[in-house]
Structure 1
Amino acid sequence: MSTSTVELPLRLSTADFHRRVLALDPKVAVFDCDGTLWSGDAGSTFMRWTMQTGLISRERIDWLNERYELYRQGQVNELQICGEMVQVYEGLTVHTLRNAAAAFFSEYVERNIFAEMRELIEQLQDRGTDIWCVSSTNDWVIEEGVKRFNIPANRVLAACVAAQDGVATNKLLDVPTDEGKVASLKRVGIVSPDAVFGNSVHDAAMLAISREAFPVNPSPALIERSAKEAWRIYYPATVAPAQ
């Protein structure tokens, strides 16, 4: 008895990827950030960096380590951990957090920016495309990172807490992940973006509402979803697996 296998989704070259996106002439394009605009997970890396540099207390480090281990075990979900990774900075000034994010991004993430994605965004901006970034990583890191793409903070939807008198509180304002990314976009009036780019299955709901979806550097779960949806996938050169 034969068994069926799921075919891998079509993989685009850089030239075909750029050509396909630009041919859409998108009025609105939406990008995930970690793994999509740059390699790696800036959210969890920033968390570890703030532990190592002493930005947060030993007590909070122990608590967050415990929560993160539960997340790895599947006992804490994606929405919970992404929110807690922002709430843990309660009591620190926004000025301190923005300075920390700037130092962190410059040293650990900037070199991992995908040149092909920066080039694409530049071309879209030249055409007048409205560019938005949606991420479950904290807004301090994401707003700092997308400066490298000339994307303003008012086009960022990221995990964030309220501030009072310039000090971060533990009141969550948004944690865009999974269906929450769609909800965050809807709140700013975006319900059918022309193009959406993401790397994770947590971007799948957002990819699904677009005129055309572009999985970039996709995770195994997103590769599987892409095959089912007939989404073409793309890998920047620095992370491209052998064909």
Structure 2
Amino acid sequence: MESRLNTLSSSPIPVATAAALTTEQFFSRVHALSPRIAVFDCDGTLWSGDAGSSFMRWTMDTGLLSREATEWLNSRYVEYKRGTVSEIAICGEMVQIYHGLRETELRSAAAEFFRNHVERNIFPEMAELVAALQDNGVEIWAVSSTCDWVIEEGVRRFNIPANRVLSARVAIENGRATERLLDVPTDEGKVASLRRAGITAPDVVFGNSVHDAAMLAIARGAFPVNPSEELVQRSIAESWPVYYPASVVR
């Protein structure tokens, strides 16, 4: 009896995993819902990597941000990584830091940055899916906590117009960025931003991080794409199937 108990106690405990879809299954499930409104997160979902923090670093390296602004934001980002600055606070500060700069200069910088550092990371499968949905007349929205200059530039590759983008943004006065925040869509804030745009129950939602979970939860069909570990755990709890583009190593 004792040896039997020892055998049982040493047996591995099964670990729950999220159901992973093939590309064919992923496309099939999305189209089977015959969506009319589709909502996409951007960083990590339409392309790999975090364009928001990468743009911040790039503008520091290129001198677009002053030394004083760079030092201040670096210290805030360290605190964010330590967990003492919230997600919504840092996302807001990462767009407010450009106050005083010309919007034309910021959009030009965003175009150069995206073209040279992010465009190659677009997931071909997601570009194909967005195009197929658009061919079917689906209304496409992009929602992101990254600044509007970068996101609006990036989603042009998907033929998503700027008026269908909900992103972190500040007011523009006399052609220059101010510190007055207009929106910071993250966590429940993504749901709030969609609601203000008149979208309360999107048919399908795609996101990659736990900060997209609230938005995924209001969809008729929730599709975690290239999910973070936290979102994998939420997907298991919610029985959401997950999808990994071919370029992603799990």
Residue in 1 that maps onto 2:181: 172
Residue in 2 that maps onto 1:31: 40
1:7 positional shift: 1.0
2:95 matched to 1:89? no
- The partner residue of 1:43 within 22, 47, 52 is 52
1:5 positional shift: 5.3
Indicate the percent of aligned positions where both proteins have the same amino acid. Answer: 66
Alignment partners' CA distance in 1, 2:191 and 2:20: 25
SS of residue matched to 2:247: helix
- The partner residue of 1:20 within 23, 26, 29 is 29
Residue in 2 that maps onto 1:236: 245
Moved more, 28-37 or 18-27: 18-27
Contact 1:6/1:227 (<8 A) preserved: no
Question: TM-score, normalization: structure 1?
Answer: 0.97
Residue in 2 that maps onto 1:157: 166
1:153–1:102 CA distance, 2 compared to 1 (3 A): same
Alignment partners' CA distance in 1, 2:179 and 2:90: 13
Alignment partners' CA distance in 2, 1:89 and 1:6: 46
Question: How do 1:32-71 residues align onto structure 2 when only pairs under 5 Å count?
Answer: 32-71=41-80
Alignment partners' CA distance in 2, 1:24 and 1:126: 15
Residue in 2 that maps onto 1:183: 192
- The partner residue of 1:147 within 156, 162, 170 is 156
2:146 matched to 1:137? yes
SS of residue matched to 1:85: helix
Asked which structure has the greater CA Rg, the reply is 2
> RMSD of aligned C-alpha atoms?
1.1
Contact 1:31/1:134 (<8 A) preserved: yes
1:240 positional shift: 3.7
1:233 positional shift: 0.1
Q: How many residues align?
A: 241
2:211 matched to 1:217? no
